A and B are shown apart, each in its own frame.
Chain A
C-alpha cells in the first residue's frame, strides 16, 4: 500500500469520525425546536451535546487540514469549485457554534429564541449541504484539464445530490433522536423514542433507494470490489437490525446501529471514489486522483509519522470525555450548564 492510499484512508476515517459524531449533534440541533416544548426541555437537549459538539467539529477541521497537507490539488479544486456551498456551511457552523455558548448567558426569551433559531438553522444547513458536496464528488462534476471546476452553483443541485441531501438529513435526524433517547429522561426521552419509531422505516427505505440510484448514476458497476460491496451491505444491514432492536425496545443498540449506518455510508462514498478523489464529468482522464492531487513523498511521509503518534492520543482523550459525561441529562435545570 502506498502512502497516497494510506492518506486517502486517513481522510476517509476523519470524515467518517466527523459524520458519525457531528451527525447526531446536527440531528439534535435540528430536533431542538420540535422536541423541546419549553425552555428547560430545550436546555436539556442542548446540554446532551454541550460537552462534545466542539470536539466533534474538530474532526472536520482536521479533515480539512489533512486534505490540504496530503492532497493540495483536491483541497484547492474542491474548496474553490464548491465555493458557495462551503460558504453556507461555514455560515451555519459559525452561528451554531456561538449559539451554544451565548444562549444560556441571558434569560430574555427573545435572546434565547434568537439563538435557538441559530442552532436550528446552523445545524440544518450543513446537514443538507454536506451530502450535496460528497455526492457530487462521486457523481462527477465539470473539471477541466487544468484541475479547475468549470460548473456553476446550480450544477451541484442535481437530482442525485438532492436525493442524497434528503436521505442523509433524515438519517442524521434519526441518529440524533436515538442519541437523545439515551441521554435524556422524561418527556424529551419519550418524544425522541416516538420519533425514532416513526422515522426508522422511512430512513431504511430511503437508504436503499439512494444505493440503487448510486448504482445507476455513478460508475458503481465498474468498481465492484470488497469495499464497495461490503460497506453498503453493512450499512443496510445495520439500519434493518436497528428495526429489530426497535421492536425489542433496546435504544442503546439502536444508537450503535445508526452510528454504524452513518459510518458505512461515508465509507461507501469513499470506496466508490478510490483511487479518484474528484470525478470529472467532462473526461475521466481529468479526474483528480490520489496520485495527481497528492503532495510529495517527503510531505506524506512526514505527515504519516505525525498522525501515527498523535491520532491515538486524540482518540484516547475523546473517548475519555464521553466516559466522563456518560450519564443521562435529567430535567433538573439547576444541574445544567448551558
Chain B
C-alpha cells in the first residue's frame, strides 16, 4: 500500500471530520455566552431557557470536537514524523501554546459551566461560558497560525538540516492569518446562524414555543446576515492573497490552464473529460483580473506556465493540485455562500416585518439549509489544503518527504479503518442526539436549579 496516499487519506478524513464540529463550537459558545449574559442582566426566564436549550446542543457538539482534536495533535508525529522533525522547531510552538493558553481554558471552564449552575453566582456562571467562547476562538487562532506557516513559511532559516525559528513575530503575523482567521471566525457565525435558523424554523412552523424561537430566529438572522456578508468579503481578500503567495492554487481553483491578461472569470465551465471539448462555458470577461486586482486588466498566471516555472526551480515532477477538486470545491463553497446570503436576508426580512405566518413554506424548508454552512466549511478547507499539493510546507517540504519512515502501509490501514469505524459510530450517535434534542425543544419552564438530564425532566409535548 502507498504510505503517502494512506497517510494523506487518513489526515483528510480525520481533519474534515474534526472541522465538521469546530465552527459550530466557535459560534455557538459565543451565542450561549451572550444569551446567558442577557439572562443575568434582564432576569427574564426565557433567556435562561434559551441558554439551556442551545447550551445542551453546544455540549454534544463540543465533546466530539474535543476528542477528534486530540487525534490531530498526535497525528503529526504518528504519520508525518519527518515533517515534524523538519519543522518542529517552529510548528510545535503554536500547538503547545494553543494547548497551554486556550485548550486548558475552554475545557476546564466548560466543566465548571456544566456542573456549576447551583454552585456559582449567576454572573460567575455566565463568565465561565465567556471563557469557554474566548478559549475556543483563541484556540482556532493558534491552529491557523500553525497552518499559515504550512501555506506561507516565514520567520525561519535552514540550519542543522531543518527549519529553525528566527523570528516568532513573523510566524504569528504571517500574511495568510489576516484573512484566514476572520474567514474562519465569520464561518463560525454563519454556521451557528443557520443551525439556529433551521431549528427555530422547525418549531415556529409547528407553533411550538413561539416566543423563545422567535427570539432565537431574530438573533440568528442578524448573525447570519453579518456573518455571510463578512465571510464573502474576507474571502475576496483571501483570493488576492493567494494570487500573491500561491499562484498555482489560484490557477487550479479557476482551472486557468494558460496565462491570461485580462483574465476572464469562469462561472461554470464543463469539459468532456475524454475529448477536452467544451460542453458549457459561461465566463465574465476580465472578471478574474477584477477579483485579483480590483480592475478589469491584470495578468493571472496559468497552470501550464506555472508548472514549467516550478520544474525549472524544483526539478521535474507534478506541481498541479487536481483542478477538478479545486475548481468544483471552490464553486460549491461560493455557491453555498451566495445562497446563504439570500436566505439570511430573507429570514431577517420575515422577522422584521413579522411575516412568519405569510411564508410557512420558508419555515418548513429552512431546516434543510443547515447543511449549507457544513458544505461550505468542508469544501473551503479541502481547497485550501489540497491546493497546497505537492507540498506539506509550501515550496519547502514535499508530501513524500514528510511522511513517517517507521510506519508501514499495514499500520496506516489498520488505523484508517479504525478511525472510519469509530467516527461512523460517533456521527450516528451525534446526529441521533442532535435531532432528538433539537426536535424536543427546550425543557418545560421549570424553576429551580439547572437540569440538563433529559431523563429527569418531563419531555415537552411535541406537536
Contact = CB atoms under 8 A, between A and B. Distances in A.
Contacts of B453: 104, 336-338
Nearest to A88: B418
A90 B70 contact: yes
Contacts of A86: 74, 78
B85 A72 contact: yes
Given A50-B115, A101-B60, A104-B453, A79 B74 contact: yes
A106 B84 contact: no
Nearest to A81: B406
A53 B411 CA distance: 30
A76 B84 contact: yes
Nearest to A43: B453
Contacts of B110: 54
Interface of B is mostly: helix
Nearest to A52: B111
Contacts of B64: 98, 101
Interface stretch (B89-97, B252-260, B272-280): B89-97
B436 A91 contact: no
Contacts of B415: 83-84, 87
A309 B62 CA distance: 27
B405 A105 contact: no
A62 to B, nearest CB: 4
Interface in B64-113: 64, 66-68, 70-71, 73-74, 76-79, 81-82, 84-85, 87-93, 95-101, 103-105, 107-112
B452 interface: yes
A75 B62 CA distance: 27
A149 B96 contact: no
Nearest to B450: A337
Interface stretch (A208-216, A257-265, A310-318): A310-318
Contact of A90 (B74, B166, B454): B74
A98 B96 CA distance: 24
Contact of B89 (A50, A81, A296, A310): A296
B107 A296 contact: no
Interface string A299-338: 1001100110011001001100100110000000110111
A64 interface: yes
A80 B101 CA distance: 27
A52 B114 CA distance: 11
A297 to B, nearest CB: 9
A77 interface: yes
Contact of B433 (A80, A83, A102, A314): A102
B96 A87 contact: no
A58 B411 contact: no
B88 A68 contact: yes
A278 interface: no
B351 interface: no
B73 A61 contact: yes
A66 interface: yes
A75 B456 CA distance: 46
Interface in B396-417: 404-407, 411, 414-415
Contacts of A98: 63-64, 67, 426, 429
B116 interface: yes
Given A65-B100, A87-B418, A77 B454 contact: no
A100 interface: yes
Nearest to A95: B422
A325 B164 CA distance: 44
Given A54-B107, A54-B111, A337-B114, A83 B406 contact: yes
A81 B97 CA distance: 25
Contacts of B437: 105
B88 A73 contact: yes
A44 to B, nearest CB: 13
Given A94-B426, A324-B120, A68 B84 contact: yes
Nearest to A53: B111
Nearest to B418: A91
A58 B107 contact: yes
Contacts of A47: 115
Interface string B426-438: 1001000100110
How many of chain A's residues touch chain B, expressed as a range? 35 or more
Contacts of A229: none
Contacts of B103: 58, 61-62
Contacts of A69: 88, 92-93, 95-96
A107 interface: yes
Nearest to A336: B453
A86 B105 CA distance: 25
B159 interface: yes
Contacts of A295: 88-89, 92, 164-165
Contacts of A61: 70, 73, 99, 103
B89 A105 contact: no
A223 B425 CA distance: 48
Given A61-B99, A68-B92, A102-B63, A302 B404 contact: no
B206 interface: no
Contacts of A68: 73, 76-77, 84, 88, 91-92, 95-96
Contact of A80 (B73, B79, B162, B429): B79
Nearest to B94: A69
Contacts of B405: 80, 148
Contact of A84 (B105, B159, B414, B436): B414
Interface string B7-40: 0000000000000000000000000000000000
A334 B456 contact: yes
Given A55-B108, A94-B70, A302 B93 contact: yes
A97 to B, nearest CB: 4
A150 interface: yes
Nearest to A147: B85
Contacts of B100: 62, 65-66, 306-307, 310-311, 314
Nearest to A68: B92
A80 B92 contact: no
Contacts of B95: 65, 68-69
Given A87-B418, A298-B164, A338-B453, A149 B104 contact: no
A50 to B, nearest CB: 6
B81 A77 contact: yes
Shortest beta-carbon contacts, A-B, top 9: A72-B88, A79-B77, A69-B92, A65-B96, A101-B63, A80-B81, A68-B92, A107-B455, A76-B81
Given A65-B95, A72-B88, 7 more contacts: A80-B405, A83-B411, A94-B426, A97-B70, A100-B63, A295-B92, A337-B453
Interface of A: 47, 50-55, 57-58, 60-62, 64-70, 72-73, 75-81, 83-84, 86-87, 90-91, 93-95, 97-98, 100-102, 104-107, 147-150, 153, 295-296, 298-299, 302-303, 306-307, 310-311, 314, 317-318, 321, 324-325, 333-334, 336-338
25 contacts: A50-B111, A51-B114, A53-B111, A54-B66, A54-B107, A54-B110, A55-B111, A58-B104, A61-B70, A62-B103, A64-B77, A65-B96, A67-B92, A83-B79, A83-B406, A86-B74, A94-B67, A94-B70, A95-B422, A101-B62, A104-B452, A153-B411, A296-B164, A336-B453, A337-B114
